[in-house]
Structure 1
């Protein structure tokens, strides 16, 4: 009887194979060193997949990967970075349907609304890609001096940025905080939304098949409460974006960041409307001004 059932295609009797996603560190997809994972459900409690629960060691490995990738990424021409980021947008467009499904399931919204958010997220990525070779002109300057010298101020990337992604906006908010970090030449260690990580996992798969060098973006799923203190105190992290950091920890994280003189982008008082047109303030937050003097005629 079982042979006849399979011959007739008994799809209703098969066991669903649940997905267990991994972390994204250094361009690869390792399991959490702790071996932990946790279930991801939709807003109605339906099981969607398992996600890796990153540990302190995973965060440390992500920082190492981001630091290793920083010299090459920051040393690339702004035009090249723009081309690389635009390629990411192309790949996101190719996986648009998957992003729509992920966002709809994660945020409990209708497909039409999810389509709108995904389209804005892709457009947002293109917007930041276009700024890579323009930001130096806007923020740089030729300074007037009283003497036979040229004086120029140029923006330079800060280094490794630990980003706590928004907890509610699973894709658009994520793109809005990650894209400006890497567009300005920095590398990122991203702690995603714990309850809505699926769009970030799909984004990591896009990054892995794009031209973005391994380590430029590292994505950790799991608990921000567990990971945040270690990233805030890590001496090789140069800046923190506290947008999606746990509210109860924000003051402590700023204090820990001060111990290693990190730049800190504070969390907004209320959840931002991520659909609004951005400005360059998030790029400016991770850039440092370097002034160069050069004698004339040399």
Structure 2
């Protein structure tokens, strides 16, 4: 009897609510916890980054103009959809080397994190907005507003919880994002894109790419229609960190670096993660008629 060669799945990207193949036509191998080939993932290019940013930019106005309560509802819906697919994500994490207990804990924490930020959706503006005392006969209000399009490097480790932990505070405040998934463990990110696609998230709010950080760093940090760049890996190469800072200065991108060792720590969920991607708008209004 001849040995059958297993057909490996090739995972696509997620851009504008669709699942296109990479424009480059390139793929790279993804391995399981034992070093066996598990699947193929798209090796995205500069053109893929540009397409994702276009999708994110076209969605900013509609997403930011939704009520905060509605954005909270949508995040809660993502949590509901993830809850129904727990077994799939637990299996995926076990495949890349997680123990069963650790895989279950990460999936549960991911669901809880979505609900945590859903609860903040219609509250952070009240907490961080202010009424400012002024000497003239005016009311003076300061309120946080979304930054715009945020490019994000998902953490290399904890590929599901880390991914959700960096996406959720960005979008709950009305921003849209382009996310580069974990290079070594990208499959949870693409599976999570399927969760997003089956929930109420408008296409273009979250766009997920796979590929090599070294190749895409320049394209993601120099794009002139991106407002912020977010990364959390604690052991990032110093040359890469310098390049991110220098490239971000080209159009005054807001560079957010939050080194995180373990995304299961409670300190890694906070309304201050939301305000990192908000800008303060101050409005004056005369008192009286």
Please indicate, yes or no, whether the TM-score normalized by the shorter chain is above 0.5: yes
Query: Which residue number corresponds to residue 152 of structure 2?
Result: 163
Match of 2:126 among 108, 115, 137: 137
* Deviation digits for residues 189-211 of structure 1 (CA, Å, limit 9, x no counterpart): 00011110111011100011111
Mapped to 1, the partners of 2:24 and 2:155 lie a distance apart of 25
Count how many residue pairs are aligned between Structure 1 and Structure 2. 285
Query: Which residue number corresponds to residue 241 of structure 2?
Result: 250
Contact 1:224 1:246 (C-alpha < 8 Å) held by counterparts: no
Give the C-alpha shift of residue 13 in structure 1. Answer: 6.3
Contact 1:41 1:47 (C-alpha < 8 Å) held by counterparts: yes
Larger Rg, first or second structure (1 or 2):
1
Query: Which residue number corresponds to residue 43 of structure 1?
Result: 33
* Deviation digits for residues 152-194 of structure 1 (CA, Å, limit 9, x no counterpart): 1000000000000100111111111111000111000000111
Counterparts of 1:225-244 in structure 2, within 5 Å, are: 225-244=214-233
Give the C-alpha shift of residue 74 in structure 1. Answer: 0.7
Contact 1:100 1:118 (C-alpha < 8 Å) held by counterparts: yes
Query: Which residue number corresponds to residue 265 of structure 1?
Result: 256
Contact 1:192 1:200 (C-alpha < 8 Å) held by counterparts: yes
* Deviation digits for residues 1-22 of structure 1 (CA, Å, limit 9, x no counterpart): xxxxxxxxx9x96553211110
1:27 aligns to 2:35 (yes or no) = no
Counterparts of 1:196-235 in structure 2, within 5 Å, are: 196-235=185-224
| Structure 2 unmatched ranges of 5 or more | none
Give the C-alpha shift of residue 276 in structure 1. Answer: 1.4
Counterparts of 1:64-213 in structure 2, within 5 Å, are: 64-106=54-96, 108-213=97-202
Give the C-alpha shift of residue 259 in structure 1. Answer: 1.1
| Structure 1 unmatched ranges of 5 or more | 1-9
* Deviation digits for residues 225-281 of structure 1 (CA, Å, limit 9, x no counterpart): 11111111111010001224952411111111011101011242xx42211112122
Mapped to 2, the partners of 1:127 and 1:32 lie a distance apart of 33
Q: Secondary structure at the match of 2:184?
A: coil
User: TM-score scaled to structure 2, two decimals?
Assistant: 0.95
Give the C-alpha shift of residue 146 in structure 1. Answer: 2.1
Between 1:62-71 and 1:15-24, the stretch displaced more is 15-24
Query: Which residue number corresponds to residue 271 of structure 2?
Result: 280
Contact 1:164 1:190 (C-alpha < 8 Å) held by counterparts: yes
* Deviation digits for residues 138-159 of structure 1 (CA, Å, limit 9, x no counterpart): 1101111222211110000000
Mapped to 1, the partners of 2:258 and 2:201 lie a distance apart of 27
Give the C-alpha shift of residue 83 in structure 1. Answer: 0.4
Mapped to 2, the partners of 1:79 and 1:133 lie a distance apart of 5
Between 1:96-105 and 1:54-63, the stretch displaced more is 96-105
Mapped to 2, the partners of 1:280 and 1:105 lie a distance apart of 33
Runs of 4+ in 1 over 6 A off after TM superposition: none
Mapped to 1, the partners of 2:190 and 2:123 lie a distance apart of 30
Give the C-alpha shift of residue 213 in structure 1. Answer: 0.4
Contact 1:69 1:216 (C-alpha < 8 Å) held by counterparts: yes
Query: Which residue number corresponds to residue 287 of structure 2?
Result: 296
